[in-house]
Amino acid sequence: MTILLMQRGSAREKGSGLDLAPGFSDNTGNNHMMSCPHSNGTTMPAIVDPNDYTPKYFQLATILRERISSGELVPHQPIPSERQLEEIYSVSRPTIRQAIELLIRQGFLYREHGRGTFVSPQKLQKGISELTSFSEDMRARGIEPGQQILELKMALPPEEVRQRLDLPPESGELLYIERLRLGDGVPMGLMTSYHVLPEGLTLDREGLEAAGSIYTLLQERFHLIPTEADETLEAVLATPREAALLQIAPGSPLLLSVRITYSQYRRAMEYVKILYRADRYQYFAKLTR
């Protein structure tokens, strides 16, 4: 599974004009040079080349996108004004607006009416073939994982879940958990899951809260190790309840992930449904031929 995660961050306040970006005058009157680093560590001159066949607006968008991706422009920081961009790059206002609109559509910028245009929180990548828990994903990115356990009980699974877990019709109750998953205290996803545990055993709320990761707990208590999974993805819209829990508007886009995880015994051990905030997650696959 590959998740690209959006993390809110930056202690800088919106509207602080000093750190917007090298390449324009700050409040002291000093001028700054602007350059954009490539992934190989070199720098790319931050110029819009009039002799390049690439459209000017696309060149400008690429320069700004590089600065965002490199972390020089931080989340929720205002971008330079149209006048400043015009002076820096010697391009027209329509070209600047076209570049900004492109970056907004691509999710690199967002606009607040009456305030300006700001840098969006950026998404982080995770390898598509990796089977990891939410907590492991967060910690790998320096984000503190968290959870709010909304419900934990033994319950009969719906027919669809029973079939996906390859359980017989006479199978009994499974452990059902509903959790709000957090990253640095911010809602990231809503997770519901059914777990196949050894007969006569269960988990309690205190144990799950202490462990944080269900995979860690299953391995330590029941020696169940997740080794592989089947996963499907779907785009859905948030219901009023989901929106309230995730702190988004009703009808906002969500990424629905449904995963069947298998243990080292090659048996289905859990059915997990996760609703990810689409403004914080992206799935990414690298394809080869």
Does residue 62 sit in the same domain as residue 190? no
Instruction: Name the 3-class secondary structure at 288.
Output: coil
Identify whether residues 98 and 140 lie together within a single domain.
Answer: no
Examine the fold and report which residue of 69, 97, 123 is the final residue of a domain before the chain moves on. Answer: 123
Is 289 contained in some domain? Answer: no
Q: Specify whether 155 is located in the same domain as 81.
A: no
Do residues 210 and 274 share a domain? yes
Task: Specify if 3 maps to a domain.
Answer: no
Chain mean pLDDT for the chain: 79
**Domain of 16: which CATH number?**
1.10.10.10
Kindly tell me if the per-residue pLDDT of 29 is higher than 80: no
Q: What is the CATH number of the domain that holds 138?
A: 3.40.1410.10
Q: Show which of 95, 123, 151 is a domain's final residue.
A: 123
One domain for residues 36 and 91: yes
Residues of the chain with pLDDT > 90: what percent? 37
Q: Are residues 247 and 149 in the same domain?
A: yes
Give the containing element (helix H, strand E) for 176.
strand 174-183
Report if residue 165 sits inside a domain.
yes
Q: Domain check: are 245 and 197 in the same one?
A: yes
| Total tally of structural domains belonging to the chain | 2
> What confidence score (pLDDT) does residue 46 get?
67
Does 39 have pLDDT greater than 50?
A: no
In a domain, 148, yes or no: yes
> What DSSP letter does each residue of 15-42 carry, written as one string?
T-GGGS-TTS--TTS-----EEE-TTS-
1 falls within a domain:
no
Residue 247 forms part of a structural domain: yes
Together in a domain, 160 and 264: yes
- What pLDDT, on a 0 to 100 scale, did the predictor assign at position 123? 60
Q: Mark whether 143 and 239 lie in a shared domain.
A: yes
Note whether 129 and 170 are within 8 A (CB): no
In a domain, 288, yes or no: no
Q: What is the mean pLDDT of residues 63-79?
A: 85
**What is the SS3 assignment for 78?**
strand
Residue 178 has pLDDT above 50, yes or no: yes
Q: What pLDDT score does 16 carry?
A: 34
The string of pLDDT tens digits covering residues 239-277 is: 999 999 999 999 999 999 999 999 988 899 999 999 999
Asked if residue 262 lies in contact with residue 269, where contact means CB atoms within 8 angstroms, the answer is yes
What integer is the mean pLDDT of 104-131?
A: 76
90 and 159 part of one domain: no
Q: What is the pLDDT at residue 38? A: 37
For 271, the domain range is 125-282
**178 shares its domain with 84:** no
- CA 215 – CA 265 distance, rounded (Å): 15
Query: Which of 107-111, 165-169, 233-237 bottoms out in mean pLDDT, i.e. has the lowest?
Result: 107-111
What are the residues whose beta carbons fall under 8 Å from the beta carbon of 61, sequence distance 6 or more? 99, 100, 102, 103
Dump pLDDT digits (tens) for 213-243.
Answer: 788 888 888 888 888 899 998 999 999 999 9
Residues 267, 132 share a domain: yes
Q: Is 241 among the domain residues?
A: yes
pLDDT at 48: 85
pLDDT greater at residue 79 or residue 127: 79
Domain boundary among 123, 154, 187: 123
Mean pLDDT of 43-65: 78
